[in-house]
Structure 1
């Protein structure tokens, strides 16, 4: 889906949709009230967000996975597999599963750790534990009450914030912000574009607030001054384009697609033709690249990114109890 523009402002349409938003929020509250979360035999760390669309959850999940693995833990990732047909529990096999099977996020996670796709989160957690996992990092699922979380980290994109502050369909929120924040153990604010939001969270949120950003990986190819034709099917494509410009690339033209868009070969052919007409390099995100047919991936540049923490030790403090409690800590 593509986020409606009116989600960013509290206008007339948002107010007209407020009765439906009330019903949506009520449905979520009742689901939480009458669902008894199942406890996994191993710890579950959930990386979630409050809004529909991208907020930077997957890069945060990948960073947490790396930190836990570096401390000797056998980490498995768990995700719903949005955009894929597999309901699971399915262990992701790189080279055999495609984004059409398991979704783009699952493929990115599988490059770092054993990854399970499961629409039923408790079943996925059970499969991971049976397969030898010490701990689970769950990408998304914060609003899903079926599986008990031992640590919940909520990611907020500073640039978009909480939109107009209303619940879907009147706004982008999956649940009322106050309710969601009350369940979070910490908030990770990506970017510093919204000083007002940062101040509000600092004053009203009585748990850790971590500051971070998304930065190109050190291994990323230096393309400064090159002309590029950029396209993206992510939550906030403009953030990707801004990163390219920050790297001093000449962004001649951009093309937006809905989040998780399943590219067809004909679409990619058209994009490559447009890039050639502009005498530019076609470039996209890692998340988009895994949704391309393999024969096109070498023809389109990718900008790999990673989390850049303002204070990296803050993350270590949050995950510390799970490392200390493991028989393989070190």
Structure 2
């Protein structure tokens, strides 16, 4: 996986970004045109899409899990639909954590499967029959915001409060997946995760566009204790520094960190180096749930790394969850009314 260049996250225009700007104009035209397309398919049940404006980690998967918990509390049977980034299977395939590895379906799929059925499909509409067959009455998409193939009934965009949208430019000069104006027009609500100037700036843009915003943060599980022994923390996610900072704020003693590219597949050589360093310095190993999922089923040194590593348990906590629940309930009521009207016309 390619690591995002540092100049993407500079507030001021850098020479590298300026040189790539002509390519960004072309990318933006293509991406914007694609997002404006009419959807190819409509699901028989409501669809909530969890997306982000930029490439890299923003907290989509923890948000999808949190929305699923809300849906269950509302009496729904949610299921998940995703592309399976980092996996080899194009699908559609119903994920079985006992049979599938992250190398096949991606790490997010294995994490989401703890709360409901998960279908991985590069072609989202083709996943609908499988989700219907397992009795899902609400679909939660982890990513796919920029993909127009399937109609979304509620589009929630997750924004990292620290990074925001970086320099505000479209790929490859910046981290935006499509022009912000096009993405804002298709945003129903935004969730700002954590505090920071980057998130505040985006929040103002979203508010001016008339979209509701919510504050949230990743919180560690109350029961998790770290003790006094120092850790070697490692992560291969969009923004590893978020994981390291969360660990530090949670009270863990971090002596060393190792950052890998997003969705990194750990080799035996990686594992041996991490294990040897931890052994030599007397350090405990700790990583993210996503990284640990990528080690499920591993043998040899990678399997030893999995067994030796602790996992930081986090969940998304919303500052005003009742207001978010009300937004979801309103969408469900609107969907029900539209379905009844459509049935009456038929």
Tell me if both proteins adopt one fold, taking TM over 0.5 as the criterion: yes
Q: Secondary structure at the match of 1:266?
A: helix
- Alpha carbons of structure 1 residues 72 and 141: separation in structure 2 relative to 1, 3 Å: same
Q: Counterpart in 2 of 1:315?
A: 324
Q: Secondary structure at the match of 1:178?
A: helix
Q: Secondary structure at the match of 1:46?
A: strand
- The question of 1:218 aligning with 2:222 is answered yes
Q: Counterpart in 2 of 1:248?
A: 251
Residue 288 of structure 1 is aligned with which of 263, 288, 291? 291
Q: Counterpart in 1 of 2:314?
A: 305
- The question of 1:133 aligning with 2:136 is answered yes
Q: Counterpart in 1 of 2:235?
A: 232
1:33 positional shift: 4.1
Take 2:74 and 2:332, find their aligned partners in 1: how far apart are those partners? 7
Larger CA deviation: 24-33 vs 231-240: 24-33
Take 2:41 and 2:3, find their aligned partners in 1: how far apart are those partners? 33
Q: Secondary structure at the match of 1:290?
A: helix
Larger CA deviation: 33-42 vs 47-56: 33-42
1:252 positional shift: 0.8
1:133 positional shift: 1.2
Q: Counterpart in 2 of 1:5?
A: 6
Question: Could you tell me whether the CA contact under 8 Å between 2:215 and 2:320 is conserved in 1?
Answer: yes
Take 1:224 and 1:162, find their aligned partners in 2: how far apart are those partners? 36
- Alpha carbons of structure 1 residues 165 and 92: separation in structure 2 relative to 1, 3 Å: same
Q: Counterpart in 1 of 2:177?
A: 174
Q: Counterpart in 2 of 1:205?
A: 209
Question: Could you tell me whether the CA contact under 8 Å between 1:225 and 1:248 is conserved in 2?
Answer: no
- Alpha carbons of structure 1 residues 199 and 135: separation in structure 2 relative to 1, 3 Å: closer
Question: Could you tell me whether the CA contact under 8 Å between 2:125 and 2:149 is conserved in 1?
Answer: yes
1:23 positional shift: 0.7
Q: Counterpart in 1 of 2:342?
A: none
1:198 positional shift: 5.7
TM-score (norm 1): 0.94
Residue 160 of structure 1 is aligned with which of 141, 163, 166? 163
Residue 80 of structure 2 is aligned with which of 48, 68, 77? 77
Higher helix share: 2
1:323 positional shift: 5.0
1:72 positional shift: 1.9
Question: Could you tell me whether the CA contact under 8 Å between 2:49 and 2:152 is conserved in 1?
Answer: yes
- Alpha carbons of structure 1 residues 304 and 163: separation in structure 2 relative to 1, 3 Å: same
For residues 112-151 of structure 1, what are the structure 2 equivalents within 5 Å? 112-151=115-154
- Alpha carbons of structure 1 residues 30 and 201: separation in structure 2 relative to 1, 3 Å: closer
TM-score (norm 2): 0.90
Q: Counterpart in 1 of 2:188?
A: 185
CA deviations 1:105-131 (Å, max 9, x no partner) are: 011011111000000011113321233
1:199 positional shift: 5.5
Larger CA deviation: 144-153 vs 273-282: 273-282
Question: Could you tell me whether the CA contact under 8 Å between 2:207 and 2:213 is conserved in 1?
Answer: no
Q: Secondary structure at the match of 2:308?
A: coil
Structure 1: 5+ residue stretches without partners: none
Take 1:320 and 1:36, find their aligned partners in 2: how far apart are those partners? 23
Question: Could you tell me whether the CA contact under 8 Å between 1:84 and 1:102 is conserved in 2?
Answer: yes
Q: Secondary structure at the match of 1:127?
A: helix
Q: CA RMSD in A?
A: 1.8
Q: Counterpart in 2 of 1:95?
A: 98
CA deviations 1:4-28 (Å, max 9, x no partner) are: 1111122011011011111111111
- Alpha carbons of structure 1 residues 311 and 34: separation in structure 2 relative to 1, 3 Å: closer
Take 1:260 and 1:199, find their aligned partners in 2: how far apart are those partners? 28
Q: Secondary structure at the match of 2:66?
A: helix
